[in-house]
Chains A and B, each alone.
Chain A
């Protein structure tokens, strides 16, 4: 009888540990604004996680107006356990993610997605080495050059006072070495910079230029995409390990569905943003094929220094191979 009691006690102990191991109350940190397409997609994903795991995994999406550095610092302490980061935040974890910021490196969404898929195993590994699990990729649209005066080539751009994110000294150096006039500013100071004439050009996805109202000071947009703005949702390995394998599968499937949604809807949102800005006075300049090709060739020469300087050579080379193989198809 005593032996049975001991066996039951042991079983209960293991049983409760198993249940404990499978329950997770998680928080997701992000700087993406409430009620935006990204916030809604994440909240929808959180709702699916809870329903599909029968409440074993609960995720509270918590937007913040703070910066991504603080979110990343907090994640190292496992609170929040999940984050949806922009390219800037990802590059802070590892500069491999700068690969998607190479100016004029990609020509189209399809080409960029092909490279993203080719690089995913490598980038997943990069994140794993830093203690993060990649759940999905996010899409922030394509950065374009917006400017007060028309920009049709790199020399036009060199004449502009160009916003660049403060804190990225490597980018400022690269701009200066190539004859551009970068003005490093915090994102929160861009509107002030445009109003005071401190800057008169900036790279931004169309939706960003609209929602921040920056386009009202810059009536030109070059219709040659500069670079895709990819982000990612990541979870700390510490939190991931406490979730059962079957629930991990559910979470991944839902995260991929969220990725699919964003990769369709965000480009649509950008197209609508351009159309609305055009109604309110934005001029969109297109280049003919020869001028566009000339711009890309010139840019490629300048950005070849990103290899090793800003992007680890293994990642840069893999991206170049994947991109060229896509173009050869």
Chain B
């Protein structure tokens, strides 16, 4: 026994020396073993109780940040940090702010500010991720965005989607910050390139993003017509089972066109989607349906009465 124990100790010592000499560590061994399980967004996106995802994500994100701290060049963790912070800020902070803004503006402002900071954090991880394969790309994105994105390839689409998404969302909550607004062309170019490379990525997720991007108003280069085309394609690719496209077209286009009937129809269609049908999008569908319900409750605040009805009322009043 004593001999066995001595030889085991000797083996461990040798292994340790070999590992130290080869630059390996227990920590990275552990990370390599656990990481593929940890950085699996599907586990979160299929969650049926949003509160569970809300409570679990911060711990995971801090763990991921610790790993990045130890291994700053790991692209899988950088991408997950980008994805995870976008998910947390969109699904929980921004969604809660959208509910609060009807009654408690101070609370909505506080949540939106937290969301904006988190989108920026996500963007920074996304940029670090791309910098590993394309050194200097952050700088080029800022100075000549349309040319800078031409280097990306199909394998980059996931990274482009989450980076572009984080950036656009940060800008949408920071229109009072010129330094952020100035990079809108970069964010748009990233998503545009991703769409060009893989238009059916994640069952039409890029088309869904472009519904919002095209409904920014014509003065900013948007187009409701193009937003409708992206909507049609997003619905086709998701087989009508994602709430996102309906919500985006309703709040972006139907509201700006003062089309109350279409707004109601779109949101009612979104509410009729069975979130268990496609578990991979269950969490976002459940959260989107919550928002659809609130928007329908506030339909009278979102739409003015038609002008001709008002004019008729006025004539009767006189």
Question: Which A residues form the contact surface with B (CB < 8 A)?
Answer: 27, 29, 33-37, 40, 43-44, 46-47, 60, 62, 64-66, 70, 73-74, 77, 79-80, 187-191, 207, 210-213, 216, 265, 269, 272-273, 275-277, 279-281
Per-residue CB contact flags for chain B residues 144-181 toward chain A (1 = under 8 Å, else 0) read: 00000000000000000000000000001111111101
Q: Which of B19-27, B50-58, B261-269, B304-312 lies at the interface with chain A? A: B304-312
Q: What residues of A have a CB within 8 angstroms of the CB of B106 in the complex?
A: 47
Contact A65 B256 (CB under 8 A): yes
Q: Measured between alpha carbons, how far is A40 from B301 in the docked complex, in Å? A: 18
Write the chain A residue with the least CB distance to B106. A47
Known interface pairs A210-B178, A211-B220, A273-B178; A74-B301 also in contact (CB < 8 Å)? no
| A275 to B182 alpha-carbon distance, docked (Å) | 10
- Judging by beta carbons under 8 Å apart, are A280 and B173 in contact? no
Bound: A189/B311 CA distance, A = 30
Q: Is the CB of A79 within 8 A of B219?
A: no
Contact B220 A213 (CB under 8 A): yes
Question: What are 17 contact pairs spanning A and B, CB under 8 A?
Answer: A35-B112, A35-B172, A35-B173, A35-B175, A37-B176, A46-B105, A65-B256, A77-B307, A79-B304, A79-B310, A211-B184, A212-B220, A272-B178, A275-B178, A276-B181, A276-B182, A281-B143
B-side contacts of A207, CB under 8 Å = 178
* A282 shortest CB reach to chain B, Å: 10
Q: Which residues of A contact B218 (CB under 8 A)?
A: 188-189, 191
Q: Which residues of B contact A269 (CB under 8 A)?
A: 176, 178
B274 at the A interface (CB under 8 A): no
A contact residues around B174 at 8 Å (CB): 35
Q: Which residues of A contact B176 (CB under 8 A)?
A: 35-37, 40, 265, 269
The smallest C-beta distance from A69 to any residue of chain B, in angstroms, reads 11
**DSSP class of B's interface residues: helix, strand, loop or mixed?**
helix
Contacts of B221 in A (CB 8 A): 191, 212-213
**CA separation between A37 and B109, bound complex, in Å?**
13
- With known contacts A29-B304, A191-B219, A210-B182, A44–B105 Cβ distance under 8 A: yes
Not counting A188-B218, A191-B220, A280-B182, a sample of 10 additional A-B residue pairs whose C-beta atoms are within 8 angstroms of each other reads A35-B112, A35-B173, A35-B174, A35-B176, A43-B101, A44-B109, A216-B185, A273-B178, A273-B182, A276-B178
- Distance, CA A44 to CA B107, complexed state (A): 11
CA separation between A238 and B148, bound complex, in Å? 56
Question: In the docked arrangement, what's the CA distance between A64 and B307, Å?
Answer: 15
The answer to the question of B302 belonging to the interface, with a C-beta cut-off of 8 Å to chain A, is: yes
| Cα of A273 to Cα of B112 in the assembled complex, Å | 22
Given known A-B contacts A33-B175, A47-B105, A79-B304, A280 and B256 have beta carbons under 8 A apart: no
CA distance A156 to B179 in the complex (A): 31
Given A74-B304, A213-B220, A269-B176, decide whether A66 and B105 contact each other with a Cβ distance below 8 A: no
- With known contacts A64-B256, A79-B310, A211–B175 Cβ distance under 8 A: yes
Which residues of chain B have C-beta atoms less than 8 A from A210's C-beta? 178, 181-182
Task: Check if A77 sits within 8 Å of B172, measured CB to CB.
Answer: no
